[in-house]
Amino acid sequence: MTKFYTNFQVDEIGRVVSVGDGIARVYGLNEIQEGEMVEFASGVKGIALNLENENVGIVVFGSDTAIKGDLVKRTGSIVDVPAGKAMLGRVVDALGVPIDGKGALSDHERRRVEVKAPGIIEPIDTILNQKQMNSRGTNESETLYCVYVAIGQKRSTVAQLVQILSEANALEYSILVAATASDPAPLQFLAPYSGCAMGEYFRDNGMHALIIYDDLSKQAVAYRQMSLLLRRPPGREAFPGDVLYLHSRLLERAAKRSDQTGAGSSTALPVIETQAGDVSAYIPTNVISITDGQICLETKLFYRGIRPAINVGLSVSRVGSAAQLKAMKQVCGSSKLELAQYREVAAFAQFGSDLDAATQALLNRGARLTEVPKQPQYEPLPIEKQIVVIYAAVNGFCDRMPLDRISQYEKAILSTINPELQKSFLEKGGLTNERKMEPDASLKESTLSVKKVAPYSQM
């Protein structure tokens, strides 16, 4: 009997007293922590969000139809998800469970979904050499690992995205976290934090990660639903008072580490849906106040064939030209002002009144500047080629080119300008007077070649 050993495991348990709409009220669990994972007798998991005197409010990560009266067990751990290179090329749900039918995850570590953001450090100039990422031959230290978090989207949309990434061989450096519209609100609330934890693995190991949240508006709606069911007091637009903290604690985790700690980085790209283009609504203004800038897309521009449908007036960068290549800063410095003037004058030009030569020239230049940035979907353009095309537009090389020939003209100038010269635009020196001479000659040659195919438009 003295050699007989028994290992006792003591679990703190409670009982579900009421359940409805994904919220379970549990009696007991007096020592539970806020944010701790619990497990129901049926195997369904949940997270404790409300710690009250008489009961604990738990949001359920799954079906709540048959858990009333069930026992609930503490797990003793805060919500965590798998992370590591084993996640690359996989599609997982908000809890990190694979949903792509490729089997279980191989070797990986686990990370908490909620962690304190890194401390503030001195500003660092970023994206000084922004080039086409993950091209063939890219070193592992330069690879940009991507985490795409789909929140409240259709399953068919996520499946289409997986197919597109697979065809482009992009799944090998991508992770997809899906909390679709058919998933419970708690999973849609949790998904961005899970994706962030997966991206932080690369940042903390000296690599670079881009985390796309598509979109945080649906996460806010899911959080509002949970908060109202938990009987938290509503505020503006019925959102709870801490909805700003919901997004700020997520986005402030995007950071650049110092050289002494590996020089890894994570970049957050949040997407927000506006109602009828109203950027002054509660959630859009919250996220705008957190980020370093925004790109505003407009439905009217999309239907007019301007794609990507970027509203230049509302799209701003608070980093400014500090994060631009010097050559790009030189060529596009005046284009935003010219586009703003063009759209102001274009409204008066619709009345058909007589216009002087200067106004006519402004309208002509503005129409070309609007046409040049158009590009097909899934066809990114390297930044050195962007510099060439914008340089041609702002310097008047295509002022008399027919609008329907602009895309042909772009291809012509990119094929005639020396690739080595294009790459030299990436250097810190920018466009010097000596460097401008060669592209000017090539642009004139391209203009003449396209002129033979299509005559110039009349001013």
Catalytic residues: 318
Please give the C-alpha separations between residue 149 and each of 106, 214, 295, in angstroms, as whole numbers.
Answer: 21, 6, 19
Which of 22-44 are b and which e, b meaning 16 or more Cβ less than 10 Å from the residue's Cβ?
bbbbbebbeebeeebbbbbeeeb
In the chain, the N- to C-terminal Cα span, in Å, equals 104
* Residues in a beta bridge with 58: 24, 48
Number of neighbours of residue 379 by Cβ within 10 angstroms:
6
Determine how many CB atoms are found less than 10 A away from the CB of residue 306: 16
The greatest distance separating any two alpha carbons of the chain, rounded to the nearest whole angstrom, comes to 108
Distances from the Cα of 113 to the Cα of 58, 81, 194, 241, 409, angstroms = 17, 7, 5, 22, 49
Q: What is each CA distance from 36 to 45, 59, 65, in whole angstroms?
A: 11, 11, 22
Beta carbons of 237 and 217 less than 8 angstroms apart: no
Beta strands in 290-378 (DSSP E): 293-294, 316-317
Tokens of 394: 């702002």
Which residue's structure tokens are 């007293």?
17
Strands 56-60 vs 45-51: parallel, antiparallel or unpaired: antiparallel
User: Of all helices (H) and strands (E), which one includes residue 408?
Assistant: helix 406-416
* Burial class of residue 17, CB neighbours in 10 A (0-12, 13-18, 19+): middle
* 134, 160, 332 from 128: Cα distances, Å: 17, 33, 16
Closest CA to 82 of 39, 111, 114, 113: 111
Contacts 24+ apart (CB under 8 A), 435-440: 439/388, 439/391, 440/395
Dihedral angle at the C-alpha atoms of 13, 16, 21, 23, nearest 10 degrees?
Answer: -40
Helix (H, G, I), strand (E, B) or coil at 68: coil
